[in-house]
Amino acid sequence: MNPTIDLLRNHRSIRKYKEVALSEEHIEAIITSAQMASTSSNVQAYSIIGVTDPELKRELAQLSGNQAYIEQCGLFLVICADLHKLKEATEHHEQTFHQNTESFIVGTVDAALAAQNAAIAAESLGYGICYIGGIRNKPQEVCEVLALPELVYPVFGMCVGVPDQEPSYRPRLPLQAVYHSNTYQADKVAEGVQQYDEAMYEYYKERTGGKTLTTWSKGIADKYAKPGRAHILPFLEARGFQLK
């Protein structure tokens, strides 16, 4: 259709990298692209930590669940929601900084939008990327390793580097399970999920040589059968976020 849409549709998560460093020019291009993402009221409530030090990457890989590709990639980004800079700006004018759940959402959304811009920029330069939600496995330890101040938390990490694999494309939900015209259409979602289960059954079967015979909905059921990362709320409250 056009090069940008082709790039977006060709996305795959890369979990094996050649140990090649990114140039400073490319790092700057990726981060400045991230900065041009939309941001709520221009608050820019995020910060990005670029990690290239091998020992730091090793620590973060362990804290994220021993994900080796964090160590392999040329650049590991830790994308953070950052209300600290907003508090500093407010107090500079001798005013009281008020925050609540809305400001927490703004910081988290700003971080996600900036990260996706960074991902697209990196892929346009020929790099592969992989988001790392495991950075929230032990978020307090991550904060200590990266010297994050109060009111800053790591939303996720992102590996960026030269790909050393060509993974297959993972099918996505059918359009009818994602896009609704004017009103939400639950019946079409149910039909779309059923179709997707059939597609993913074949995908898993082919990908594993018949060893894994399951569906998308079964994976979702297993994932949400118990709370995930229940430590996040007390962690955020201890970091100074007021979720009210």
If asked whether residues 115 and 20 sit together in one domain, one would say yes
Q: Is residue 129 part of a domain?
A: yes
pLDDT of 204 higher than 80: yes
For 16-26, write each residue's pLDDT tens digit.
Answer: 999 999 999 99
For 117-163, write each residue's pLDDT tens digit.
Answer: 999 999 999 999 999 999 999 999 999 999 999 999 999 999 999 99
Find the CATH number of the domain harbouring 37.
3.40.109.10
Q: Is residue 221 part of a domain?
A: no
pTM given for the model: 0.96
For 150-200, write each residue's pLDDT tens digit.
Answer: 999 999 999 999 999 999 899 999 999 999 999 999 999 999 999 999 999
If asked whether residues 128 and 149 sit together in one domain, one would say yes
**Residue in the block written with tokens 């980004």:** 77
For 40-95, write each residue's pLDDT tens digit.
Answer: 999 999 999 999 999 999 999 999 999 999 999 999 999 999 999 999 999 999 99
User: Hey, what long-range contacts does 34-40 have (CB within 8 A, 24 or more apart)?
Assistant: 34/114, 34/115, 34/117, 34/118, 34/121, 35/114, 35/117, 36/117, 37/110, 37/113, 37/114, 37/116, 37/117, 38/113, 39/110, 39/113, 39/114, 40/106, 40/109, 40/110
Q: Is residue 244 part of a domain?
A: no
Q: Is residue 203 part of a domain?
A: yes
If asked whether residues 72 and 188 sit together in one domain, one would say no
Residue type, 182: N
Q: Is residue 219 part of a domain?
A: no
Domain of residue 201, residue span: 175-213
